[in-house]
Amino acid sequence: MKKIAVIGATGFVGSKIVKELSDRGYQVLAIARNTDNIAGQPNIKAVNADINDTGQLAEILKGSDAVISAFNSGWTNPNIYDDFIKGARSIEKAVEQSGVRRFITIGGAGSLYVADNLQLIDTPNFPAEYKAGAQAARDYLNEIKNNTILDWTFFSPAIEMHQGTSGKRKGIYRTALDTPVFDENHRSILSAEDVAVALVDEIEQNKHIRQRFTAAY
């Protein structure tokens, strides 16, 4: 049984990843600031941790076969940009120090290219309230591309991950690297449950080592 650590295990996406891993029989190390609501579940060991304490986090991660980070510094956080960059860097460094090589991290859809040299975040109608967080994720993607120590994967979710798809696990999706996956109605949609499916599949198949990829129906 593989042991997979999930950072941000109580969040909107992280909780779905924990469930998907547990349902597939993995041993899950669920890491969050407060894990009271997931303690005691089958195959799951819950650990409270501050992701900005790099040394402590590295010790917690030791012995894992892979790490999935669903860390989010909060869309309503006025300091989202700085907090995301700081947290993402700390997590990446902790994974390195832990000796774990396989690392998957989740960023935003804002850095996907919707036209030649035009990323979604730079389009006129991109929501202003999401811009700082999307910029942080884009900047971090450019940073992690330089990491030659970890077998990293950066996942950009579908553009409409939050739009009316919660609670639906279809178990199917299509992937791309740097451009959104659109359906027949030119919408990019994937439930958080199927984000979890895609990420656990990636743990099993290792199709996107040192690449960014995205998925949608």
> What pLDDT is recorded for position 164?
47
Domain residue ranges of the chain, discontinuous segments joined by +: 3-216
What pLDDT, in 10s, does the model give residues 74-118? 878 889 999 999 999 999 999 999 999 999 999 989 999 999 899
Residues 87-92: contacts with CB within 8 Å, 24+ apart? 87/51, 87/52, 88/136, 88/140, 88/143, 88/144, 89/140, 89/143, 90/51, 90/52, 90/53, 90/54, 90/57, 91/7, 91/51, 91/57, 91/67, 92/144, 92/147, 92/150, 92/152
Whether the CB-CB separation of 30 and 3 falls below 8 Å is answered with: no
Domain 3-216, CATH homologous superfamily name and number: NAD(P)-binding Rossmann-like Domain (3.40.50.720)
> What pLDDT is recorded for position 162?
65
The percent of residues above 90 in pLDDT, for the chain, comes to 81
- Residue 13 CA to residue 8 CA, distance in Å, equals 8
What pLDDT, in 10s, does the model give residues 28-83? 999 998 887 776 677 899 999 999 999 999 999 999 999 999 998 887 888 999 99
pTM here?
Answer: 0.93
What pLDDT, in 10s, does the model give residues 172-188? 999 999 999 999 999 99
- Residue 109 CA to residue 1 CA, distance in Å, equals 32
Q: Are strands 113-115 and 118-119 parallel, antiparallel or unpaired?
A: antiparallel
Amino acid letter, 20: E
Give the residue-averaged pLDDT of 124-136: 92
Q: List the structure tokens of 102.
A: 């396989």
Q: 10 Å Cβ neighbour count for 23?
A: 13
pLDDT of 18 over the 60 cut: yes
